[in-house]
């Protein structure tokens, strides 16, 4: 459910773009992101760092897009976010005892430390590369193509990458039944 909540600004941006234009869609993304941060704070009485970073980026680049009437500012938003995430993931490899991915997931999944570092590093590379792809699409294709790339393509690539990592993690997970002694007595 949280994943859907995190993607609301992108979803509403996508709908607003096809109903109106890039400028209305930008305002919709700004408002949705602000409401997202506010509602999270009202519910938990704290801010989530990534939501605040995303909101600040949407607000700054969205404002520039509207003020200067130039969609290129907002087209940079995904790249900035992806690169911030990439730097954050890379930094966590060296700062602290656990990489960021492990901090997010180790209460649910137990993996060897080296595997956490590998997966964390792969997410960093993924986000940095996705940032470069976004800039390429933003400068070489129309705004409509960029919007389509941004929502279904970039989001889909992220979900597929997460699925691939989940499949990779499965080989390190132990089946609870493997560790329990057999309850069969062996008699017929």
Q: Where are the domains of the chain?
A: 1-68, 76-172
Residue 188: pLDDT band (50, 70, 90) is very low
What's the rounded Cα separation, in Å, for the pair 169 and 119?
9
What's the pLDDT score for residue 105? 85
Inform me whether the pLDDT recorded for 45 exceeds 60: yes
Nearest to 152 by CA among 48, 29, 7: 7
Please write the tens of the pLDDT for every residue from 79-121: 999 999 999 999 999 998 899 999 888 888 889 999 999 999 9
What's the pLDDT score for residue 144? 96
What's the rounded Cα separation, in Å, for the pair 46 and 9?
20
What pTM did the predictor assign?
Answer: 0.84
* Mean pLDDT score across all residues of the chain: 89
CB distance 79 to 127 below 8 Å: no
Those residues whose C-beta lies under 8 Å from the C-beta of residue 119, and which sit 6 or more positions away, are 99, 101, 111, 165, 168, 169
What's the rounded Cα separation, in Å, for the pair 140 and 14?
20
């Amino acid at each position: 459910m949280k994943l859907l909540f995190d993607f609301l600004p992108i979803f509403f941006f996508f709908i607003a773009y096809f109903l109106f234009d890039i400028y209305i869609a930008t305002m919709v993304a700004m408002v949705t992101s602000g409401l997202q941060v506010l509602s999270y704070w009202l519910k938990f009485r704290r801010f989530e760092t990534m939501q605040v970073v995303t909101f600040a980026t949407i607000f700054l680049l969205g404002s520039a897009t509207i003020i200067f009437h130039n969609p290129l500012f907002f087209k940079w938003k995904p790249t900035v976010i992806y690169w911030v995430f990439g730097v954050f993931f890379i930094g966590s490899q060296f700062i602290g005892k656990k990489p960021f991915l492990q901090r997010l997931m180790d209460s649910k999944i137990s993996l060897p430390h080296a595997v956490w570092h590998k997966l964390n590093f792969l997410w960093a590379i993924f986000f940095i590369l996705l940032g470069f792809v976004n800039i390429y699409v933003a400068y070489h294709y129309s705004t409509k193509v960029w919007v389509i790339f941004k929502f279904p393509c970039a989001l889909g690539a992220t979900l597929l990458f997460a699925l691939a990592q989940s499949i990779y993690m499965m080989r390190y997970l132990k089946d609870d039944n493997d560790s329990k002694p057999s309850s069969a007595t062996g008699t017929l």
